[in-house]
Every structure is written in C-alpha cells, then in structure tokens.
C-alpha cells in the first residue's frame, strides 16, 4: 500500500498524483514541494491522501518531498515578482517585433532556471526571434506555449455573470470538455451570448448543473400529464428541476408545488 495525494500547480489546473512517505503528514490546502520530471516545484494539495494498492499506483509516480517551509514560500514569492518582470520584458519585445500575439503569463521553474511564457494568438506565430531575444535578456532557458481562450481565462481569473469566480479557475483538476449537448439537456436557449463565458466558449457551469437536469428529467412526470398528489389529482403545468419539484394544478387556477418525493417519484423510473 502507498499513500497518494492530488496536487495542482495552477488555479483550476490539471490534477497530478504524487506519493507521500509514511513519515510525512499532508492535508488538503497544504503547499508542498514535489519532484517532477522538470525539477522541484511547489504545488497545492487538493485531494487528501488515500491508500492505494501498489498495483493501482501510476507507474513512474513522483514523490512529495516536504510540506513547503517558510524559506520555500519566500522563494516562491520572489519567483512571482520575477515572473511579473519577465512578462513585462516579453510584452515589450512582442511590441518591438510587431508580433500578433497576447502574452498571458510568465511561469518560472522553482529554481529559476527556466521561464515559460503562455500566449494567445489568432494565427500561427513565428516567435523564433522572440525566443532568441528573451534568452539574451533573461539569460535563462525560455519556452513559449500557445494556449486556448479557456486556458487564458483559467490563468487570468475573474468573475462570471453569476457573480462568482470563474469555474475554470475555481475548481482544480477539472478538464472535462463542455458540449452543446449539456445546454440542450438543460433546455437552455442556444444563443451564444446566453451560454458563453467571458472566454467566448461554452460556460463551464453547464457541465456541473447538467446531472441535476438529466436526473430530474428521468424521474419527473411530463408537462401536461395528470398525476396524483397529496391534495388529489391534478395536471402538471410547470417543471422546476433545480428544486426537484413540479407545479400541479389541482384546483383550476391554483397551481401548487410538489416535490418528487411528495409525489412518490424520487426513486422511480421516468414517467409520462
């Protein structure tokens, strides 16, 4: 048996698994120093340690070296300051070279030996001259990575029309794609302005709410059907998926809300 935790390196980023030694106490929210194929770096624990059979542990899994100490956190803060400076240098060089690209972020390795610049561009960009000049300026190994509009929103962050932080930046390790089918399952208008996020792509929340609608659709009676309620038989005039309820007109002109449980439908198959 081995202890394994889930770690992310960026807000809303991909989830990675790391092994934890028995002598190390790690909890969700801890900043930890881990070994990766590109050297040591700091991540955040988002999945608590769990015991896994040796045969189920991913091959080549790396280790959590330690919970980040004060020195590690101070170094991380200095790196963040350097990243801001490196991004400004990159933006200035992009402008000098007249490149059609938007610099989104600069991310340096924990030991400051490498800097990765993420950018967005509508077309393919020849950035060889940019890399050369960045190498001269920064005296470090430089990598440029083109990212999607959704990845840009995840890195930059912000707030959606609901008033909450962007799902892509809030929920770590969630990389499941969003499809138009999810909007159809929720009976939403297929108007791009209504179902698109600030990145211009389908809103991430569509995938989080879909299961509620799908389950409700499987269990609930159809609109217009006649059902038995605690107040007598009536006609279903409205469906309320988020409340797991339906409006039933028992007496004409007086619809009443009943939950699926009150109708005895919360564990039944679909109804007509």
Task: Give pLDDT tens digits for 1-18.
Answer: 889 999 988 776 788 999
Of 169-178, 238-247, 252-261, the least confident: 169-178
Residue 168 belongs to a domain:
no
Is residue 38 a part of any domain in this protein? Answer: yes
CA count, 13 A, side-chain hemisphere, 176 = 13
- As a whole number, mean pLDDT of residues 126-155 equals 92
Q: Quick one: 82 and 55 in the same domain? A: no
Label the pairing between strands 2-8 and 31-36. Answer: unpaired
Buried b (16+ CB within 10 A) or exposed e, 61-79: ebebeeebeeebeebeeeb
Return the pLDDT at 198: 86
Q: What is the mean pLDDT of residues 46-70?
A: 91
Q: What percent of the chain has pLDDT over 70?
A: 96
Q: What is the pLDDT of residues 181-240, one digit of tens each?
A: 999 988 888 888 889 988 888 988 888 888 889 999 899 999 999 999 998 899 999 999
CA angle 192, 195, 201 (to 5 degrees): 75
Does the structure show a pLDDT above 50 at 271? no
Q: What is the pLDDT of residue 204?
A: 86
Q: Mark which of 68, 92, 119 sits at the end of a domain.
A: 68
Residues 16, 53, single domain; the answer is yes
Show the tokens assigned to 6.
Answer: 């889930």
CB 248 within 8 A of CB 234: yes
**Helix 70-97 × helix 128-138 angle, to 10°:** 130
173 pLDDT exceeds 70?
no
Nearest to 66 by CA among 3, 16, 11, 21: 21
Specify the CATH number for the domain of residue 139: 3.30.300.20
Taking the CA atoms of residue 20, residue 21, residue 22 and residue 27 in that order, the dihedral angle to the nearest 10 degrees is -30
Looking at the 3D structure of the chain, how many domains does it have? 4
Q: Is residue 92 part of a domain?
A: yes
d(CA 215, CA 209): 10
Residue 37: band (very low, low, confident or very high) from pLDDT cuts 50, 70, 90 = confident
């Amino acid at each position: 048996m081995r202890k394994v935790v889930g770690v992310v390196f960026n807000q809303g980023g991909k989830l990675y698994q790391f092994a934890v030694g028995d002598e190390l106490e790690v909890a969700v929210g801890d900043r930890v120093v881990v070994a990766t194929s590109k050297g040591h770096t700091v991540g955040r624990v988002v999945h608590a340690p769990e015991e896994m059979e040796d045969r189920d542990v991913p091959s080549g899994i790396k280790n959590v070296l330690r919970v980040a100490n004060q020195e590690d956190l101070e170094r991380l803060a200095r790196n963040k300051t350097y990243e801001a400076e490196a991004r400004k240098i990159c933006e200035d060089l992009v402008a000098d070279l007249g490149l059609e690209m938007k610099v989104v972020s600069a991310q340096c390795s924990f030991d400051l030996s490498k800097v990765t610049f993420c950018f967005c561009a509508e077309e393919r960009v020849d950035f060889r001259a940019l890399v050369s000049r960045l190498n001269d300026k920064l005296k470090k190994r430089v990598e440029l990575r083109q990212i999607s509009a959704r990845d840009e929103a995840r890195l930059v962050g912000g707030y959606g029309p609901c008033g909450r932080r962007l799902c892509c930046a809030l929920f770590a390790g969630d990389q499941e794609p969003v499809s138009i089918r999810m909007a159809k399952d929720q009976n939403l208008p297929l108007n791009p302005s209504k179902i698109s996020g600030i990145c211009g792509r389908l809103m991430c929340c569509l995938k989080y709410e879909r299961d509620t609608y799908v389950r409700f659709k499987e269990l609930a009676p159809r609109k217009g059907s006649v059902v038995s309620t605690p107040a007598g038989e009536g006609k279903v005039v409205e469906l309320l998926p988020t409340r797991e309820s339906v409006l039933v007109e028992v007496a004409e002109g007086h619809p009443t809300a009943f939950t699926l449980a009150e109708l005895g439908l919360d564990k039944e198959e679909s109804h007509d």
